Amino acid sequence: MRIWLDGALRNAEDARVSVFDHGLTVGDGVFETVKADHGRAFALTRHLERLATSARGLGLPEPDLDEVRRGCEAVLDANPMPLGRLRITYTGGESPLGSDRGDAGPTLVVALSATTRRPDTTAAVTVPWTRNERGALAGLKTTSYGENVVALARAHEQGATEALFANTVGALCEGTGSNVFVVLDGELHTPPLSSGCLAGITRALTVAWAGAKETDLPLDVLERAEEIFLTSTLRDVQAVTRVDGRQLADGPGPVTAEAMRIFDEQSAADLDPR
Ligand code: PLP
């Protein structure tokens, strides 16, 4: 596997990042996951823009997006595969233990791993922990993902693949790595960004392409929604057929099936949608 590290392609086994990297020691980093179909990255421009937004939110130096794009293209060219997951990681760089971020400059890594198309349906659970919609990291895609790791483990214990959070005022927010949509009286809704959710790229495209409304929703909407689905880079649009103890259906409902169809069609036609 060839990866990109700080300006050059390298063998993954030879690439070295300092054990004092601030991303490793205190989670001072941001990241993106980008889907690549036969070497072609989907919505790369949007991902690069979000990387820069997250970096700004964390006070990291402005990433050189031309270099990040070059790194992604070089890694994709060097490692051909049908369906890949590009991972861009950008951290505060090497820094003495116990000190603020050092001045050695940021670390940029672009890596790739093979993946497969997700199943059309899945199960989700709710978790008792909350997203802080007023926190310093709200809406940023940082490498401080410990809370998501814990919540996802809770989902796996219950035979589900995603855990859903409410925010501090009890409103439905998002999953550990996905946004959530519900159908109420035949209409499609998703929580607004003010709920504290990440500005998901699949979410934004689904809002635009399938015409969802952004609505404040209580967490218990999951007990009565006619349909529920998740969106993310690797899930695309994925139906939730069981949430906690509630079985909704055996397969995607009509609104979900239509959102899946539109997403597949539009994303195949436009690899870098604005
Ligand atoms: N919410 C969180 C916390 C995420 O980590 C992700 C995954 O990137 C998403 C939502 C979905 O965003 P996207 O559609 O851009 O992958």
Residues 107-125 pLDDT 10s = 999 999 999 999 999 999 9
Residues 55-86 pLDDT 10s = 999 999 999 999 999 999 999 999 999 999 99
DSSP state at residue 129: E
Residues 246-257 pLDDT 10s = 999 999 999 999
- Looking at the chain, how many residues does it have? 274
CB 88 within 8 A of CB 28: no
Residue 95 Cβ contacting ligand 1 at under 6 Å: no
Block residue for tokens 């998501």: 148
The average pLDDT across 181-190 equals 98
DSSP state at residue 47: H
Q: What is the ipTM of this complex?
A: 0.99
Residue 267 Cβ contacting ligand 1 at under 6 Å: no
CA distance 32 to 234: 12
Dist. CA 235 → ligand 1 center (Å): 10
Using the predicted structure, report yes or no on whether residue 225 has a pLDDT greater than 90: yes
Residues 29-38 pLDDT 10s = 999 999 999 9
31: alpha, beta or left, given left = phi > 0 and alpha = psi -120 to 50?
beta
pLDDT band at 8 (very low <50, low <70, confident <90, very high): very high
Question: Strand 29-37 and strand 40-41: pairing?
Answer: antiparallel
The percent of residues above 70 in pLDDT, for the chain, comes to 100
How many other CB atoms are there within 10 angstroms of residue 255's CB atom?
Answer: 20
State pTM to two decimals: 0.97
Nearest atom within ligand 1 for CA of residue 176: 3
Exposed/middle/buried for residue 269 (C-beta within 10 Å: 0-12, 13-18, 19+): exposed
pLDDT band at 150 (very low <50, low <70, confident <90, very high): very high
